[in-house]
Amino acid sequence: MPTIGYFLSCEQFGPAELIDQAKRAEAAGFDALWISDHFHPWNDEQGQSPFVWGVIGALSQVTSLPVSTAVTCPTIRIHPAIVAQAAATAAVQLDGRFVLGVGSGEALNEHVLGDRWPSVGQRLEMLEEAIDVIRLLHKGDEISHHGKHYEVQEARIYTLPDKPVPIYVSGFGPQAAKFAGRVGDGYVLAMPSAELVDTFRKAGGGDKPVQAGTKVSWDKDADNALKTAHRLWANEALPGQAAQILPRPRDFADLMSLVPPDQVAESVACGPDPDKHAQQVREYFEAGIDEVYVQQIGPDMAGFFSAWERDVLPQLRK
């Protein structure tokens, strides 16, 4: 049976809210959790950005659901050796129910230490070396690594899970999907693209798991739901490489004014109609995606979880 999980958005909610949502998600019958890893939100209206590893530690104490980062960039802002230690600890805390989702990142989060923002090709090269470093450290031996991008000297991680942490790779285009198929233990994407899933599988992904995230805006008033979705998440409709290259939340806010509400409505189920919410998720499963994680954008969490437990999850699981 496909996995239906809940997406914890660190861009929009503070630590206590995220923990509350995780508990509500488990009680409502969701199967797993996704959590984003950001230094900045996409825009100031979203307004949050807690440190993901602190939140994951708290999650391990309140839920029995598996947790995946969606996704962590282990290349610039945080050295891959430190990400390796953080992921190992998270896996121990969660009794092995942890997946490290990684990606090549966005300037929004990775420019904050003053590093140059590399080209796409170089970012993938850095990501591959970072994954190698993480996997080496997760073997538990003392290692030294002298690579093109990273140096690790006589390092050993002592707190390790029983099995190596699975590393799923994010990719939103054909080049990145092929890369994920070659190096990842799974694949992460944010759109119901059968073509990208097929590219991943043919490039070496085989029958490895594919995860994807999506957003809905549940509200009794459909118009209000759309207004909320547009105000907070119109950035997701920006074309081209904007999401990768813009450095500040205010830059995204400036461009969001160019996105009409109707465009947001095309990808975000807005309002209380359970069939509309269920159909949005079905599109992902029909594209061959194994695990779909849903974020509630609107403020009525009680209404969302109640409606999904009663009207949406049962029809998706028929």
- Annotated catalytic residues are 38, 106
Q: Where do the H-state alpha helices sit in the chain?
A: 15-28, 52-59, 80-93, 107-110, 120-137, 174-183, 194-200, 222-233, 242-245, 249-256, 261-265, 274-286, 301-307, 313-316
Rama region for 206: left / alpha / beta (φ>0; ψ in -120 to 50; rest): left
Q: CA-based angle 45:103:36, to the nearest 5?
A: 35
Burial class (CB in 10 A: 0-12, 13-18, 19+), 309: middle
Tokens 């904050």 belong to 112
3-state class (DSSP) for residue 88? helix
> Backbone phi, then psi, for 305, in 5-degree steps?
-65, -35
- What are the E-state strand segments in 19-142? 33-35, 67-69, 98-102
Q: What tokens does 105 get?
A: 């990142």
Please choose, from the candidates 55, 134, 63, 129, the residue with its C-alpha nearest in 3D space to the C-alpha of residue 94.
63
Rounded to 5, what percent of the chain is helix, strand, coil?
A: 45, 15, 40
